[in-house]
Every structure is written in C-alpha cells, then in structure tokens.
Structure 1
Amino acid sequence: MRERGRTRRLLGLGTRTGGAMLRTRLGGQADWRALGEALFEGLAELKGPAMKLAQIMAQWDDLLPPELADELARLQRQATPMPWEAIRRTLCDQYGELETIFTEVETEPFASASMGQVHRAVTRGGETVVLKVQYPGLDEVLESDLVQLRRLMRLGRWFNVPQARLEALFEELAASLRGELDYRAEASALTRYRARYAHLAGLVIPEPLPALCGSRVLAMRHVPGTPLRELEGADDAVRQRLAATLADWLTEELFTHGELHADPHAGNFAADAAGRLVIYDLGAVITVPHERLAAMMRLLEATLDADPLAMDAALLALGGRQGEGAPLSLYREAAEAVAPLFAPGPQDFGDVRVHRRLRELSPRVWAAMDRLQPPADTLLLSRTLNGHYWNLVRLGARLDMSARVRPLLARAVR
C-alpha cells in the first residue's frame, strides 16, 4: 500500500509538471512558484531518488524559471529528517548494540539529505565521528522510482527529443543513482581522494573509518565546518581562497585524473576554522573520458573565439544537435553571454549581468531543443560543471579564467 501511495504521488507530481511544461510549450503561462511549492512539499516527504533528481534540477539555475529553481533549492537545505527509530534500526543492523561501540549517538541529525542523514557519535575511545546512515528500504524505493522516472521522461518527446537519446539519459541517471547506494564505494572514494589531493593544503576531505563502515552506514572522522551556502557574509579573503581552491581541485580532477565530483550542491561543501575547503560527500564521482573532455573543450574554444560555425561543428561532433542545428544568431548570443567571464584578468562571478544574459537566452534555447540537444552522455557532466559554477558564484569568486583556461585548451585538444 505504501509503495502504491508513493507511486500515485510521484505520478501526480509528474502530471502537474508535465502540464506546466506543455502550457509553456504552447505559448501559455505556468504558475512556476505554485509548482515549485508542490514539488518541495511532496518530494521532501518522499525523499529518495525522486528528491535527489529534484536537487540535481535545482542546480540548473540558468535554465529553470527562477520561481521554480528557488523552491527546488530549498530541498538542498530543508530536508525533513527520518524518525530516529528507523535510523537506529539501520545502525543496529550494522553494529549490534550501539552501546558496545559508542558512548553517545545524537538522535537529532545535523544534516538530512535525499538518500540519508548524518548523526554525530562518540566512540568508546572518545573520538567524535559522523555516521552517514542510508534511509531504510532505499534500494527497493530506487527501482520503483526509476520506473516512474522512465515514464515521466517521455515528456521529452514534446521537445522532439529522440527516444534513443531519452533512453541513454535515463541509463546515465539510473547508474549514477544506483552507485550512490553503495557506501563502501564512497568510503573507497574518500580514501582515494585523500591520497590524491594531499598536496592541496587548502583542501580537507574527511577520513573514512573502514572498521565502522558498511554498505548502508559510512563512518568518518568529524570535520566541523561552516556550510558554503552560509558564507556569503564571510571575509572576502576567505571566500576568494576557497574559490581558488575549488577551481584548482576541479581542474586537477578533470584534466589530470579524468574524474569529477558529480554532486555539487552547496550542502556538500564547507569552510573549516582555518578557511580551508571541506568536501563532505563523495557518493557521486563520474569518469570523464579524455575524448569527451576534448570535444567539450573544442566547443568552449569555438565559443571563446565567437565562431558560430565552429560552435555548430563542435556540437555536431559531440552529438549535441540534429537536423540543421540552431540558428547561428543563437550561437553568437551565447558566445557573447559567456565572454565576460573569460576576459583577461580577474572576473567577478557575482556579476548579475552575466546571469541575467544567460537567463534571457533560456527561452530561445528551449525553443531550439528539437535541433539543439545536449548529448545524453554529457548531460550529467555539463550539469555538474554548471553546479560547481554556481558554487563559485555563491562565493563571489574573482578568478582569471582566461589565464586558467587557455593552457587547458591547448592541453585537452592536442
């Protein structure tokens, strides 16, 4: 009964979302605020994969209507916690009697998310640790939600998205979500990243505790920090140092190791007392093949050169367009919109004029979606990069992107 109720609610939310999309597609007006409120209330209660996908969508600040994006963003910071008794059962399945391992486990979580929540605890040895606990029954819920997601993705046909592209996108999302259920894999990723980036003095990655980890519980040493979304009023020098560290780390991830942290919402990042960047969650790490990265960099190079024909050719090589492609004027305007971020010298990521220009282009991008379609196997990558971009915006970053990008272009496309 509970599964049928969940399915009905998801279908209801999907139908409402589809109706809003259809009205917009037909030239009408949709109440995006009301839709966002309904999605927040429904998904905050349902949790799981449906909420996770909404959090991913919330990172699409440049494409979603602002009212909808604002409501979905609340899911990143206001998730309703699971009752303690349900969490305690999972912990007991992992450890047996908790008192044999811990002197204290806080019953109130200090962080709640879509797939699990985090509780502080103190071991018998007196060490403060954090326990990331997966919500009970999430593996069964995932497969049920994916069935509904596949149905909802048929809405893409209204934008003339080919079925094969929709299927490829679904498989990419499904693989990413299934991977997040394996906390042992996340513990391994934490260990790998700690060793790989030990030379970055401004970066902190919590240490996993293998003896206390399981498939549904991830134990880490406690690293206190101020969440990135609460740093807007912080000292500017601290924010600039965090932004530079974030940019350096992402660059090394992509261009040296061919991987990317794929869950960039602001709750996964913080600043410690020394002003270092803390990365709390490595449940989603994707591989980025060099060939794919090189193709995307060719598109960036054509964009920075303001060459619409080269932009179209790069999109075609990526598999990102069909038919005659988008109007050349749209390519030109897109190049003009992003050009200020890559002008020589430090550029202000908080410049609202850039964001306004990108938002103004969004309706034209959607209107051209039957010809201009991001390839399914780069959608997660491009949306992840977009999420990291907005983290730099939140920090008010001032970075010389021209000096950073030009050597990378030469390196990636050679």
Structure 2
Amino acid sequence: MSDLPRNAVARTAKLATLPLGLAGRATMGLGKRLGGAPAAAVLTEVQQRTAEQLFRVLGELKGGAMKFGQALSVFEAALPDELARPYRAALTGLQENAPALPAASVHKSLAAAFGPNWREKFTSFDDRPAAAASIGQVHRAVWHDGRDVAVKIQYPGAGKALLGDLNQLARVARLFSLLVPGIEVKPLIAELRTRIAEELDYAAEAAAQSSYAKGYADDPDITVPDVVEQAGTVLVTEWLPGIPLASVIANGTQAQRDRAGTLLVRFLYSGPERVGMLHADPHPGNFRLLPAEPGAAIAEVDPDEPTAWRFGVLDFGAVNRLPNGMPEAIGAALRGALAGNAEEVAQTLREEGFLKPGTELDPEAVLDYLAPLIEPLRDPQFSFSREWLREQAAHLANGKNPAASLGRRLNLPPSYLLIHRVTMGGLGILCQLGATVPVRGELGAWLPGFAEEGLDRGDEAGEDAVAE
C-alpha cells in the first residue's frame, strides 16, 4: 500500500481544519469588533492567524497541497509585511522541503524501475533525501561511471493525492481572499488540476530536460543538468550544486540578487526561442546560483562579483510547449502600451481572445491594468521590491479602480494560461529578490514583436545596463 493513500483520511482532516479555523477566527473577530476593537486591527489579527494555520497545514502535506503551496509561495511578496514576516520562513520552506518517504519505500521504487539489482547502477546511494517536494523526493548518489547524480523518486500514489488535495483546496479558496483581497486562486487550482498527468510523467520530463540541456549546453550563464537515465517513476540527472534561490532571497548580496534576477528573466523568456518550451514552474526551489567557473567552490567565489555566478535550473515536469516561440501579440501589446497606444493594445487583446464578444472596455483602463507589466520596461533597468508589488496588488484590488473592474471582465485564453502563470510567478520572485534587472533589454532580445529601435538588445545590452 502506498504511503500517501494510507494517510488519506489524516490528510483530508488536516485540510478540513482550514475552513473550520476560518469560521472560528471570524467569530472571534466579530466579538472583538462588538467590543470596540478597531476594524483594521481585528482584520490584521484574523489574517495573521489564518496565514499561520494555512501554511502550517500546507507545510505538513505532500501532494496537491504542497504543489499549491509552492505555486502560491511566489506571491508572498505581495502580502502586507506585517502578515508576511511571521511565516515567511515556513512559506519559503515549502519550496524545498516536505515529509520524506522511508528508505524501504525508496528501495521498492528503485527496484520497480531498475530491477532487483538496482544498486549496481550506483557506486553509492544516500537513503536520506536531499530535497523533498510535492510529487517526489531527491536523493544524492554517485552513478556507476563516477558522476554525482540526483535521483528523483515519485511518491507512490502521488496522482491520487494531488487530485484529492486540489479538490479539497478548491472548496476553501475563499481563505486566500482574506489574506490578499483580489487574489485569484480558483484558476490557479484549476490549472494545477489539469496538468496532473503531465507532472507525473517522468519520461516526458526527461525529454523536456534533455531538450533544455542541449539548448543551453554552450551557455556560459545558464546551466541545465543532463539527464542520466529514466525508468518508470525514477529520474536520474546530473547533480547541480549551488545556492538555492530561497537562500539568495534570504541572505544574498545585492550583486547575487541582481544576477539571479537578470538570468531568471533571460532563462524564462529565451526558452521558447531556444528550445520551443517555456519553463512553467517558476518558484525559488527550482533555481540555483552556482560558480561560473566550473569546479570552483562556492566559498571561493566573490559574492559581490555578478559575472562570477551562473544560474542553474531544475525540475522540468511542467513546461509549456511553444514550437513557434512566444506569441508575437504579447510583445506587440507591451510595445504599444509603452508608447501609450491604448486603442492598439485593446484591439490586440480582442484579437487574442482576452475579451468575450460584445464586451466593452475603456482602452485607458487597459493601460492601467497592465501597469505592473509596463512599468519595469520604461527605463533600461528596474528595481523590483516587495513594496512595489504590494502597491500594484492593492491598486488592482481596489473596487473603485476601473482597472479592477476590467480584470474581472477579462477572459484568459487557454493558450495563455501558463504564460500568465510564468509571468506572475517571475514577478513574484523578482520582488522577493529585490533585484535590479535590465528587463527591457532582456525582453527586447527574446520577445517577438517587442523589440524596436532604441530598446536595449541582447545579453551584452543587458549586462551594460547593469554596469551603468
């Protein structure tokens, strides 16, 4: 019997505590308001208690709860600081850690994939997981040819757990509107649910990672580890050392933050052109900073020298296949928005299916709605911050703001779902990093329809903007 289904009742019970806890806190808040406590203070206390319980429960579970927690973690930067501080460490922990499978279950999975003599594949194998996440955990090992490898083993019953958790979370989506008014959680849960089969397919993940590794093999700044072997629910890749991006967010120098932010943007938006795919799971647990000099120890690298660091990428279970590259309409809309051509941008949205037939809109409200995407492009470089993201979120959540009303009337075409997720997730990470990034130059190099005379272009242009 698998480990996850065996605990299904306990998992459901834990998730069920979320709406019950919300009801209790709401009653408590009503009592305090009747007793004369200021409404704002009561709301803050209810939000804090909700957040603490929410991420404590998510952090104790694998499956869909963990996957959802990872997807949500990039939006931590949009929360008010008085809410984010108490549980920021627990939230970012979702990106790297989860309860581990026992060694016996690990060995059983390896035997099912490689046969009873699976140990002959390895010179050594560490039974202790090096990392654990939503649908699998990673063990460090040495392959029989001497290479250090990462062995990713899928949790037995992961698919059933994923679907069960996401169905439960869909029922309590209103919790998240209490934390961040205006946050759209139901579409995120629905999108995660539709991609369960792809997430569980390690053969497809191996193929995607191999394509990325080939496409970036000669890149001096971005590293994708090679696939060593894949069988069943086990995936073996070369080991990627480095500093987890969550650690850079917590303790990195400004140079490391800027370097990570610049290369994150470059990686995400160069993928469709270079390999025909968009990495669709942008959370800090999937990225690393590692020495640019092969074989160099991290301790030997100057943390204040940007070019001393490369960007490493993990986990290719979720990709958006874009064989023709990014849609040119995205770049054209951004270019038009920068130029203030509201009618042109509105027409592009109509043609791409963002508006249902017959829907009327104020073109100027469109530019206001797109402000979080446009503002970082106005100058050669932009400094992201949690404060900036909170201001943008509050602006778009303000019911009196025409842009907020527009957001509720826009339709997100299926072909843009993952592009939207990656864009929003990338913004969240950049703001967590507090990175200064030459976004305009990077998009000018890789986003069809966006480049125009006067924009910074190419890797050299981006690096020059940082140097300035």
If the length of structure 1 is used for normalisation, what is the TM-score? 0.79
CA contact (8 A) 1:202 1:242 kept: no
Residue 112 of structure 1 aligns to which amino acid in structure 2? A
Q: 1:411 to 1:340 in 2, by over 3 A?
A: closer
The match for 2:223 among 195, 198, 204 is: 204
2:328 matched residue in structure 1: 294
2:428 matched residue in structure 1: 390
1:304-357 superposed Cα distances (whole Å, 9 cap, x missing partner): 23455555444444444568667777545445555542223232234x553343
The match for 2:156 among 130, 136, 153 is: 136
Answer yes or no: is 1:10 the counterpart of 2:10.
Answer: no
Q: 1:47 to 1:281 in 2, by over 3 A?
A: same
Q: 1:110 to 1:200 in 2, by over 3 A?
A: same
Q: How big is the shift at 1:402?
A: 3.2
2:244 matched residue in structure 1: 227
Q: 1:106 to 1:404 in 2, by over 3 A?
A: closer
CA contact (8 A) 2:151 2:237 kept: yes
Q: How big is the shift at 1:43?
A: 2.1
Alignment of 1:125-204 (within 5 A): 125-148=145-168, 151=171, 172-204=191-223
1:92-131 superposed Cα distances (whole Å, 9 cap, x missing partner): 3223245433343222222111111111112444432211
Q: 1:139 to 1:32 in 2, by over 3 A?
A: same
CA contact (8 A) 2:77 2:431 kept: no
CA contact (8 A) 1:121 1:128 kept: yes
1:41 matched residue in structure 2: 56
Q: 1:263 to 1:338 in 2, by over 3 A?
A: closer
CA contact (8 A) 1:107 1:119 kept: yes
Q: 1:111 to 1:5 in 2, by over 3 A?
A: closer
Q: 1:84 to 1:39 in 2, by over 3 A?
A: farther
Alignment of 1:248-267 (within 5 A): 248-255=266-273, 257-267=275-285
Cα distance in 2 between the residues matched to 1:33 and 1:173: 26
1:20-40 superposed Cα distances (whole Å, 9 cap, x missing partner): 99x9xxx99372222222222
Answer yes or no: is 1:102 the counterpart of 2:119.
Answer: no
Q: How big is the shift at 1:296?
A: 3.3
CA contact (8 A) 2:445 2:451 kept: no
Cα distance in 2 between the residues matched to 1:123 and 1:409: 39
The match for 2:313 among 279, 291, 304 is: 279
The match for 2:108 among 84, 89, 97 is: 89
Query: Once structures 1 and 2 are overlaid, which stretch shifts more, 339-348 or 258-267?
Result: 339-348
CA contact (8 A) 2:217 2:224 kept: no
The match for 1:113 among 133, 153, 159 is: 133
Structure 2, unmatched stretches of 5+, are 1-5, 30-39, 293-308, 453-468
Cα distance in 2 between the residues matched to 1:222 and 1:406: 33
3-state DSSP class of the match of 1:114?
A: coil
Instruction: Quote the sequence identity (%).
Output: 29
2:377 matched residue in structure 1: 342
Q: 1:6 to 1:118 in 2, by over 3 A?
A: same
Q: How big is the shift at 1:10?
A: 2.9
3-state DSSP class of the match of 1:108?
A: strand
Cα distance in 1 between the residues matched to 2:153 and 2:381: 42
3-state DSSP class of the match of 2:449?
A: helix
1:122 matched residue in structure 2: 142
Q: 1:339 to 1:188 in 2, by over 3 A?
A: closer
CA contact (8 A) 1:324 1:371 kept: no
CA contact (8 A) 2:124 2:141 kept: yes
Cα distance in 2 between the residues matched to 1:291 and 1:193: 14
Cα distance in 2 between the residues matched to 1:296 and 1:15: 42
1:51-71 superposed Cα distances (whole Å, 9 cap, x missing partner): 201211222346556536845
CA contact (8 A) 1:306 1:335 kept: no
* Matched pairs, number: 404
Cα distance in 1 between the residues matched to 2:126 and 2:74: 31
Structure 1, unmatched stretches of 5+, are none
CA contact (8 A) 1:337 1:358 kept: yes
